[in-house]
A and B are shown apart, each in its own frame.
Chain A
Amino acid sequence: MFAIAAAVLVLVPLLAIFLYLLIKGIGSVNIAFLTQTPKPPGETGGGMANAIVGTGLILAVSSVIGLPLGIGSGIYLAEYGRNRFGDLIRFTADVLNGVPSIVIGIAVYSLIVVRQKHFSAFSGGVALGIMMIPTVARATEEMLLMVPNVVREAALGLGISKWRTTLSISLRTASAGVITGCMLAFARVAGETAPLLFTAFGNQFWNLKLNQPTAALSLQVFTYAISPYDDWHKQAWAGALVLILLIVGAVAAVRITTSRGMMKGA
């Protein structure tokens, strides 16, 4: 009984947030919002198209950095990491997971932004990518450790090399869980605002260049929400709603495509 009650209670905050966003935001989500850039203060209308694309750009950079590094170190930890060095990596990953996101933003600011002398989509992606690594690494490790050793032995016994066994047998057997870990990390950083304040910075105009300041939905929502204009408040709600829908959409799309690919051939 308690378990059922707990499960229902877990649904409440998510549904409440989503419904509230829907009520507040849906009225301002329209074609202009999805296709136009922000209007100057004082003018009504305009949209967040540049921020939607900017978020996509930053997340692409962060995934290119965070997923391979995370999965790679997770493989190391599970298959070769039963030693001091492995323990060190595990400890580092857990600490990194606990570092406040704004601290990561400041670190990337001083390492990249200060040196390049301007804010950029790239530095924002690096900050979010760093945040993805520990989640992805630990999820990959846990999932690989759940693959029964007899499965590895079966592959080695067929004369399949160790690295081939790891990639094509162990990782593949664990793929559903690894993908879940990746999506969790992705969804988590997709809404991050603090690390982008000093890195991607935000931009009222279109930008598709990695080395230029870039708008992001989370940043735009933040800027609009603390502004004094009523119209901007409405757009902030709409931005938050679109952000959540995009994350849900991305996660669902990955889930559907990967669960279909699972049973094919070898």
Chain B
Amino acid sequence: MGVGIEVHGLNAWYGKNLSLENIDMSVAANHVTAVIGPSGCGKSTFVRCLNRMHETIPEARAEGSVKVGDMDVYGGGSDPVEVRRRIGMVFQKPNPFPTMSIYGNVAAGLKLNGFRNRKQMDELVERSLKLAALWEEVKDNLHKKSGASLSGGQQQRLCIARSLAVEPEVLLMDEPASALDPISTSKIEELIFQLKQHYTVVIVTHNMQQAARVAEYTGFFLMGSLIEYDKTEKIFTTPADKRTEDYITGRFG
């Protein structure tokens, strides 16, 4: 089951540049929350702070409080590796492991974390591929085909399956459909809608229609600040802030 996320006073830097300023946000469990805003507004940085991927970039750092369920992400004893195992991430460009088979890709997170039970692994791989709506297309070639030989849309669903296989509680998606064609995009969107039964999903998108289609809640970021955060319907029909309205009506960004 998914868990909620509580963010308080989150700041993030790239070197000396403050790119996220004092973010407060609470994400509901088992819902889809979209993060929108123009390029460079900090929306990707924000989700990368949630699972401590932000700090893997040289000279990048973050401060503040992020609680995911009962886990204090930036707490004293917190281990970034453990954080990332519990908070899965899907990236903008499909990035399967190029030298691994389809099965190998999905099982990688389990295997490399020391999971050895072959039978249970087979089950988890099958379950994850089914959840990612890819099972029917690849079940005959699990070991024969490499992950890189699939189409772009299939690769992205493979990456989603790979994230799901380690059984995270939250799934972060950083513009997961921006490199895909409309048909693949609609498949991914349908999938996101299904996934919220089991996971809390936070999706970054610069496509406002997509946010409107998949998310119950939407946050609008501008220049490193969270301008407005509310039910998606409210954001897209009667936004409280002038800047949100300007953005969603296409006056900038």
Contact = CB atoms under 8 A, between A and B. Distances in A.
A161 interface: yes
27 contacts: A150-B91, A150-B93, A150-B95, A151-B97, A153-B56, A153-B91, A154-B159, A157-B53, A157-B91, A158-B84, A158-B85, A158-B88, A158-B108, A158-B109, A158-B162, A158-B166, A159-B81, A159-B82, A159-B83, A160-B113, A161-B81, A164-B112, A168-B112, A173-B99, A175-B99, A264-B101, A266-B108
A168 B104 CA distance: 12
Nearest to A164: B112
A264 B142 CA distance: 11
Given A155-B112, A158-B163, A265-B104, A169 B84 contact: no
Contacts of A168: 112
Interface in A156-180: 156-161, 164-165, 168-169, 172-173, 175
B58 interface: yes
A170 B164 CA distance: 22
A224 to B, nearest CB: 46
A157 B88 contact: yes
Given A150-B91, A161-B81, A156 B112 contact: no
A82 interface: yes
B113 A157 contact: no
Interface of A: 82, 148, 150-151, 153-161, 164-165, 168-169, 172-173, 175, 262-266
Contact of A169 (B53, B56, B97, B113): B97
Contacts of A161: 81
Nearest to A147: B98
Interface residues of B, number: 35
A157 B51 contact: yes
A142 to B, nearest CB: 17
Q: Which 3 A-B pairs have the closest CB atoms?
A: A159-B85, A158-B109, A157-B89
Contacts of B82: 159
A165 B163 CA distance: 15
Contact of A173 (B53, B98, B143): B98
Given A151-B95, A160-B109, 14 more contacts: A154-B91, A154-B97, A156-B84, A157-B84, A158-B108, A158-B112, A159-B109, A164-B112, A169-B108, A169-B112, A173-B97, A175-B99, A265-B101, A265-B104
Contacts of B65: none
The residue among A151, A164, A266 with the most chain B CB atoms within 10 A of its own CB is: A266
The residue among B53, B97, B101, B107 with the most chain A CB atoms within 10 A of its own CB is: B97
B104 A157 contact: no
Which label, helix, strand, loop or mixed, suits the secondary structure of the B interface? mixed
A155 B98 contact: no
A151 B104 CA distance: 14
A161 B100 CA distance: 18
Interface in B29-73: 51, 53, 56, 58
B103 interface: yes
A163 to B, nearest CB: 10
A57 B108 CA distance: 38
A230 to B, nearest CB: 54
Interface string B73-92: 00000000111111011010
Interface in B96-139: 96-101, 103-104, 107-109, 111-113
B184 interface: no
A266 B93 contact: no
B185 interface: no
A175 B100 CA distance: 12
Given A173-B99, A265-B143, A156 B93 contact: no
B146 interface: yes
A155 B108 contact: yes
Contacts of A82: 58
Nearest to B82: A159
Contact of A266 (B98, B111, B146): B111
Contacts of B112: 155, 158, 160, 164-165, 168-169, 266
A221 to B, nearest CB: 40
Nearest to B145: A263
A161 B85 CA distance: 10
Given A150-B91, A157-B51, A266 B113 contact: no
B190 to A, nearest CB: 23
Contact of A265 (B93, B95, B103): B103
Contacts of B100: 266
